[in-house]
Structure 1
């Protein structure tokens, strides 16, 4: 299904997802990050750790089809699966319950690892999430599963198109658990905490507005640094190009070069397949 705010990006069926993954392999893309769009949602996000839930089914299909040729990254967050649209379970007062959410993340992480994910993308920004999930995986002997920590994930107006893409139920925002854009000091502290808990990769998101944080992460991190060029960044380029205001291909490349130059060793972008073909 096409996503109106993101021309060229679609919601996939299981079959079309596998076909897209095979195109990624042929083009030399390094990895694929997978999100689920469930038919039903509930307050605790039950579909997130259901072996028959859409995300886990998709991971098994992809692992069977391309698992030796493409790194599979699973989005480990409840927001796609909760009826309220938040990244965690809610306390009686309506706030996100950090510690109760960690339990759900561990359950979700185990389900994703068992479904075939090579990497778990912990994107919920709960305190202690890296250490909690790492311990749960270790206890089950899943010691080779890589943890990608969204260590500095800023609250941003650029997430709007993605919320359409996953059919988000969110009302309000996530400012109480995502980073405050003017605050660079806290972002660096969060990166250091995730590294101390055993993160294998640390992520900065959104990439473009936070290149200074990408550079700071690259300076201090002993593990690879990733940056996520998010939906609103993509949509801005596409909209300006559609109006004839910019050279689309040139700006696409410039935007990714800037992220790379800031220090990102891994870039998550909706342009991945197109850019990989261009580089070849």
Structure 2
């Protein structure tokens, strides 16, 4: 019926009415908090481009994990900053590497906290690429063995889930096979299934020192204009054994999130990446936006698009805001 009989505003008159008919609800259960761990003790080094984010030594990481647990955030995603980088990313798969040390420490103190580890080589290589390099080319197949070794070392340390972010062809199958053959069938895989070669990653690369020393990553990360290709990538990762699929970045790719949700009956994660975070923080520090409202609106939009899981540097603030109501 037409106006004046039909008045949609009736259901917007009061906050409690709006709550009753709200279609999408963001909760703390949706959140994963990314953390950066580095060697040393007492280290809490700020990442200049990401206000509120730090590189933490394992002892400081435990203090941060305690805050995460207290806020009810169910999981963290760990990135490591090695003591030394080399051509073959040796610390990535060293059982005494920084991520492996951190996983053991966290699982000892907080066994119920879901610990997810990023599986990639770029933080650990001297050239900054996500795979083995030969004469300026990033080689796919030789990289798979190193990725599988890295995932297996994380599982031995106690990781609940591994998250390959390299975008090499076949890496999910290689990791799944290595985990299963070693008896880690219960360790799940969250695949960066549709990871785009994005300009939004800049602040992250400052945090971990992973900018490529030559060229860029467009020969293995996805071309931003492509959508159908993302669905092919996701389908391949599911076929290879992925338990959760991820779209990265989030904001500029919500159409991909919606297509993934409609096409696949699998949990969908999004990564609210460093550049997205930094833009909000920069505008909020200038007083140009209401940070709380913008962050909650942005993350709710990600969930509305179809995300089940949101990886975000805003996680602690969001958990506090949701608790306050």
Under TM normalisation by the shorter chain, which class is it?
A: over 0.9
Pick aligned residue for 1:77 from 94, 114, 120: 120
TM-score by length of 1: 0.98
Match of 1:30 among 63, 74, 92: 74
Instruction: Give the corresponding residue for 2:32.
Output: none
Which aligned pairs between 1:225-240 and structure 2 lie closer than 5 A?
225-240=268-283
Mapped to 2, the partners of 1:177 and 1:221 lie a distance apart of 23
Question: Which segments of 5 or more consecutive residues in structure 2 lack a partner in the other structure?
Answer: 1-44
Counterpart of 1:162 in structure 2 is: 204
SS at match of 2:218: coil
1:224 has 2:264 as partner: no
Cα pair 1:83 1:169 within 8 Å, conserved: no
Rounded Cα–Cα distance in structure 1 between residues aligned with 2:269 and 2:138: 26
Aligned to 1:54: 98
Quote how far apart the aligned CAs of 1:222 are.
2.1
Match of 1:66 among 106, 110, 131: 110
Match of 1:194 in 2: 237
2-structure distance, mates of 1:250, 1:15:
33
- TM normalised by structure 2 equals 0.84
SS of match in other structure, 1:180: coil
1:182-240 superposed Cα distances (whole Å, 9 cap, x missing partner): 01111111011111111100000000110000111111222210000000000000111
Higher strand share: 2
> Corresponding residue for 1:203?
246
Q: How many residues align?
A: 278
Aligned to 2:144: 102
Q: Offset of 1:168 from its aligned partner?
A: 1.8
- CA drift of 1:67 comes to 2.1
Aligned equivalent of 1:6, options 40, 46, 50: 50
The structure whose Rg is larger is: 2
Is residue 2:210 matched to residue 1:130?
A: no
Q: CA-to-partner distance for each residue in 1:48-77, whole Å, 9 max, x for gaps?
A: 111111111111111111122x11000100
Q: For the residues of structure 2 that align with 1:169 and 1:234, how far apart are their CA atoms?
A: 18
In structure 1, stretches of 5+ residues that fail to align are none
CA distance in 1, matches of 2:264, 2:160: 21
Secondary structure, aligned partner of 2:118: strand
| 2: CA distance, partners of 1:170 / 1:61 | 31
Q: Write the distance in 2 (CA, Å) between the matches of 1:244 and 1:214.
A: 31
Runs of at least 4 residues off by over 6 Å: none
Cα shift at 1:169? 4.6
